[in-house]
Amino acid sequence: MSIFIDNATRLIVQGITGRDGSFHAKQMIEYGTKVVAGVTPGKGGQRFENTVPIFNTVADAVRETKANTTVIYVPPPFAADAMMEAADAGLALIVCITEGVPVLDMTRVYPYVQARGARLIGPNCPGLISPGASKVGIIPGRICAPGPIGLVSRSGTLTYEVVYHLTRAGLGQTTCVGIGGDPINGTNFIDCLDAFERDAATKAVVMIGEIGGTDEQEAARFVKEKMKKPVVGFIAGQTAPPGRRMGHAGAIISGSAGTAAEKIAAFEDAGMGVAKRPIEVVDLLKKRVR
């Protein structure tokens, strides 16, 4: 089993004829994802790689292909409209890879998507992968393997590093989810932790956080109160100076709430194993997974 995507995922690629969209569409198709349609306004009727039909609108693509998921690779000025168009078309899962979406745009997008019952992952995220079943986004399939570990992360590159270590150690994954590090995103740690707790195939979870905000502390409280499965964590940015942006737009420390020390303390209070380096996640899991 897995969370959010599986063998039944039927995927649209919004922006399939652009540089990033075309490159990653090929990667997803090669991995085995059912890419059933692309959307580029003005290019309806064409085909991508001579196989995937291209439509002018998401609504047309959904109607003709029965798609249930979309991944968005469009420039930041158009990403908000792309997300809302996908929600209007009735898609259950919307994954936005685009970086640099204005926060003001997301204040409109988030309630719009929520009101239509869709799940949004991102923006500014690497997407997700259920190894051996489906890949939606940019997480490299070659570093993943099927197995019992769920992973959720705010950091794209740390997702890749930890997954690589897990796979090398023989700890495959049910699903790896990159939720993105922007101040407003569609799916948070708790959403993913709850889904992993309910997933029978997931035996333990890795949570990768970073400085800024209080999402990690809230997630740690959820782990302590609601989860029976073991969770191990890592916090990026432990040497970051206060008041300085480090990488993601949400990685800004304000007072003491967003510091690495405060987040690590919350993890420890929840009984989570806390890694000092990403590679230490492997040993922490091995102690907890039977």
- 248 catalytic? Reply is yes
Annotated catalytic residue: which of 119, 165, 203, 248? 248
39: DSSP letter: E
Give the DSSP H or E segment for 128.
strand 127-130
Q: What is the largest CA-CA distance in the chain?
A: 56
Residue among 44, 47, 3, 7 nearest 25 (CA): 47
- Element counts in the chain: helices (H) and strands (E): 9, 14
In angstroms, rounded to a whole number, what is the distance separating the alpha carbons of residues 189 and 181?
A: 11
Q: Which residues contact 169 (CB under 8 A, 6 or more apart)?
A: 282, 286
Residue among 144, 189, 196, 193 nearest 171 (CA): 144
Which of the residues are catalytic? 248
